[in-house]
Chains A and B, each alone.
Chain A
Amino acid sequence: MSYPTGCFRQAGGLRVRPVPELETCIVFTSRRPKLYMLNLAAWLVFELCDGRGGEQIAADYAAAAGADRDASAIRAEIGTAIERLLGDGLIEHIAA
């Protein structure tokens, strides 16, 4: 699994409401009015999108969530999550 070069950041116009007691985060995309619920893993990927590149996100995700897990499985998860977050307009890609 490879990631596009460049980095990722959260899209503008979002309203982000963590619900830590339920291990979820609710995000409202005001530009395209819709609500999304992120589970804990997706929430972590979303918050790691602060200008980091895909490789860095995967490394930091693994450090926080899955030191004992298969690296390729984690990379695949991150790739899928990034694609989904991009598709739903929660994050954006900044080309290198």
Chain B
Amino acid sequence: MQQEDRLATVKALMQGRAGVPGAPSVEPIEPHIRSGATFLFRDPLKRGVPSDEQDVVRRLIDDKHYVGTICSIWGYNVLPERAQEFRRWLLVNEPRLVQATPPGVFYKGTYAVWISTEKEAGEYRTVWSYASLQAIQDLSEAAADQGSTFAQLLGELVGFQDRRPGAPRSQEHWQPASTAHRF
């Protein structure tokens, strides 16, 4: 896009907005490299893990001591003016979300972070666990099925996230340390 086209674009945006624009702001962007690469992933209940170790993990899962064998945690903020709406949404819809997840995908709740050392990870965490790697793919497929209750609920949940540039966000993937292979 040439400069004159960009000027036309920014003028149109400026004229189309309501209210007084904020003062000009130029902020440097500091890239963060967020690869972990400490552990090789392996499913604790699949080949490569001795059967006696699998038994321990399976028992801890069945007894609901472990969150799961494969977990992901989404961190994000919700704008303060939407916090009450978000809380009410969770009260109504978390039970529905639990029921609507595809087989092998488990919604483990959304949590408010009341103390953390991580400033940029977000004030909320949504925790998922998966019965297998295939289940991660199943979650993506179900999320894309726009006619499904799951896609609708997930869209509403994610819709509360503060998506503005620079807003705190994070994503982590966990596996039980008891069967993790560190290199």
Q: Which A residues fall within an 8 A CB radius of B?
A: 10, 16, 18-20, 22-26, 34-45, 47-48, 50, 64-66, 69, 77-78, 80-81, 84-85, 88, 90
Contact, CB under 8 Å: B13 / A42: no
Residues on B with beta carbons closer than 8 Å to the beta carbon of A34: 28
Contact, CB under 8 Å: A35 / B31: yes
Q: Indicate whether A66 sits within 8 Å of B20 (C-beta atoms), given known contacts A41-B25, A47-B6, A88-B26.
A: yes
Residues on A with beta carbons closer than 8 Å to the beta carbon of B34: none
Whose C-beta in chain B lies nearest to the C-beta of A69? B20
Contact, CB under 8 Å: A16 / B6: yes
Residues on B with beta carbons closer than 8 Å to the beta carbon of A25: 6, 10
Q: Which B residues fall within an 8 A CB radius of A?
A: 1, 3-4, 6-7, 9-11, 13-15, 17, 20-29, 31, 164-166
Q: Indicate whether A26 sits within 8 Å of B14 (C-beta atoms), given known contacts A41-B22, A47-B6.
A: no
From B6, B21, B29, B164, contact of A40 by CB (8 A): B21
From B14, B26, B27, B164, contact of A81 by CB (8 A): B26
Q: Indicate whether A22 sits within 8 Å of B6 (C-beta atoms), given known contacts A40-B21, A69-B20.
A: no
Contact, CB under 8 Å: A39 / B13: no
Whose C-beta in chain B lies nearest to the C-beta of A78? B24
Q: Indicate whether A90 sits within 8 Å of B26 (C-beta atoms), given known contacts A18-B6, A22-B164, A43-B10.
A: yes
CB distance from B13 to the nearest CB of A (A): 6
Whose C-beta in chain A lies nearest to the C-beta of B29? A35
Whose C-beta in chain B lies nearest to the C-beta of A87? B26
Whose C-beta in chain B lies nearest to the C-beta of A10? B3
Contact, CB under 8 Å: B24 / A42: yes
CB distance from B21 to the nearest CB of A (A): 5
Question: How far, in whole Å, are A71 and B29 apart by their CA atoms in the complex?
Answer: 31
Q: List 16 A-B contacts (CB under 8 A).
A: A16-B1, A22-B165, A23-B13, A36-B27, A36-B28, A37-B27, A37-B166, A40-B21, A42-B26, A44-B10, A47-B3, A47-B7, A64-B11, A64-B15, A80-B24, A81-B26
Question: How far, in whole Å, are A64 and B22 apart by their CA atoms in the complex?
Answer: 13
